[in-house]
Amino acid sequence: MTTTERWQWLALALVTGGLIYLLAPALTPFAVAALFAYLWDPVVDRLERIGLSRNASVSLVFLLIALAVVALILLVIPFTERQIAKFLDQLPRWLAWIQAEAQPRLEQRFGVTLDFADPNKLIEVVKNHWREAGGIATRILGKVSQSGLTVLGWAAQLVLIPVVTFYLLRDWDTLVARVNELLPRTVEPTISRLARESDEVLGAFLRGQLSVMVSLGTLYAIGLWAVGIDVGPLIGMIAGLISFVPYLGAIVGVGMALIAALVQYQDWAHVFMVLGVFGVGQLIEGYVLVPKLVGDKIGLHPVAVIFAILAGGELFGFLGVLLALPAAAIVMVVLRYLHEKYTASRLYQPAEAEPEISPVVVVSHGTVVAAAELQPVAAPPAADGKPPAN
C-alpha cells in the first residue's frame, strides 16, 4: 500500500466517523435494525437450508420474535416488578440483620466497622427512586406529549426498526456480497480475512454470551426459588445479567442470596443450599454452557467490553452503545493481525546468518559431490612409463 493510499484510507475513516457523530440520532434505528438482522441471519440461513424460501424464513423469524416480545410484556415484566416490590418490602429486615448480626461479628473478629446510614432514610430513598423509575414512562410521555413532532418522531423510529430489520434480514447475504465487490482488489483478501475473524469474535460474544447469560439467569432463578428464597428469582436474574464479567455474577448473586437466606430462615441449611445452587451453576457454565455456546473464539476481555460500552456511550450516545461491541471486536481482530505481522517482521525476528553453500562438482555419470569432499587424484602414467610433465 502506497503512502497516498494510506492517506486516502485515513481520510475516509475520518469522514465516516464525522458523519456517524453528526447523524447519530438519525442512524440509531438503522443501527438497531442492523444489529437484529446480524443476530438472526444465521437462523434464517438454517431455515433456508431445510427448504424454505428467504421471505418465508424471515417471516417465520419475525413471528417468533413477536411471540417472544408478547411473552416478555405479559409474563416477565410483571413478574419482575412483583419481585422488586417484594425485595423492597424485605429490605428493612436485611438492613436490620446486617446491623444487629453481621456488623458486630465483623467488628469482633476482623475489626471491620460498617458505617451505615439511617436504615429508614436509606429505605425511603430506595423506595422513592423505585417509584420514580416506575413512573418514568409516564413522565416521559407527559413531556414529549407537549410536542407533537417529537411524538411522531419517536413513533416513526419505533415503526422503522422492524421494517428496516425485515429488509436487511431478507437481503443480508446480497448486501455482504455487494460490499465485498466494492472493496479494492489489492486489499480485498486482507479485509475479507479480518471481516471473517471479526464476525467469529462478535458472533460468539453476542449470540453465545447472551445465551449463557439467559441460561445462567434461568438456572439461578429456578434453583433459588426451589431452595425457598422469596426474592430468589430476582437475584438469579441479576446474577445472570452481569455474568458476562467472569465471576462477578456469581459473587453478587451469592452475596445477595446468602443475606436473603440468613434473614429469611436464620439457619445454615439454606446457606449451604444457596452455595450448592451457585456451585452447580458455575460447573455447568464452565463445562457445558461456555464450551457449547461460546467456544474459544471470543477474545474480548470483559474489561475491554465494559470500556467499549462506556466510551461509545460517551462519544456517540445510544448509537455508540450499539456500535461499541462491533467496534471492539474489529479493533481486537486488527490488533491480532498487527501483532502477527510484527512478530513475523525483521523488526522482531533476529537476523539469521546466511548458510554457507559449498560448491558442487559433477564427477561422472551425473554424480554430484561437494568440492570439499574431493580428494586429489594422481594423474595416470604416460605410455612410455615416464611421469607426466608438469
Per-residue DSSP letter, 371: G
- Whether pTM > 0.75 for this model: the answer is no
Which residue in this structure is represented by grid cell 546468518?
A: 353
| Domain regions of the chain by residue span | 24-182, 212-293
In the predicted model, what is the mean pLDDT of residues 245-252? 83
Give me the pLDDT at residue 144, please: 46
361 bridge partner residues: 369
In the predicted model, what is the mean pLDDT of residues 81-100? 79
Question: In angstroms, how far is CA 200 from the centroid of its own chain?
Answer: 11
CA end-to-end span of the chain, whole Å? 64
Per-residue DSSP letter, 106: H
Q: Which residue has the higher pLDDT, 294 or 371?
A: 294
The 10s digit of each residue's pLDDT in 32-77 is: 888 888 888 988 999 999 988 888 999 999 898 888 888 888 887 8
Give me the pLDDT at residue 378, please: 54
Q: What is the mean pLDDT of the chain?
A: 77
The 10s digit of each residue's pLDDT in 315-362 is: 777 777 777 878 888 888 888 888 888 888 887 877 665 555 555 544
Give me the pLDDT at residue 151, please: 61
370 bridge partner residues: 360
Residues 6+ apart with CB under 8 A from 229: 235, 257, 260, 261, 264, 270, 274
Highest mean pLDDT, choosing among 6-10, 21-25, 222-226: 222-226
* Concatenated DSSP letters of 258-302: HHHHHHHT-SHHHHHHHHHHHHHHHHHIIIIIIIIIITT-----H
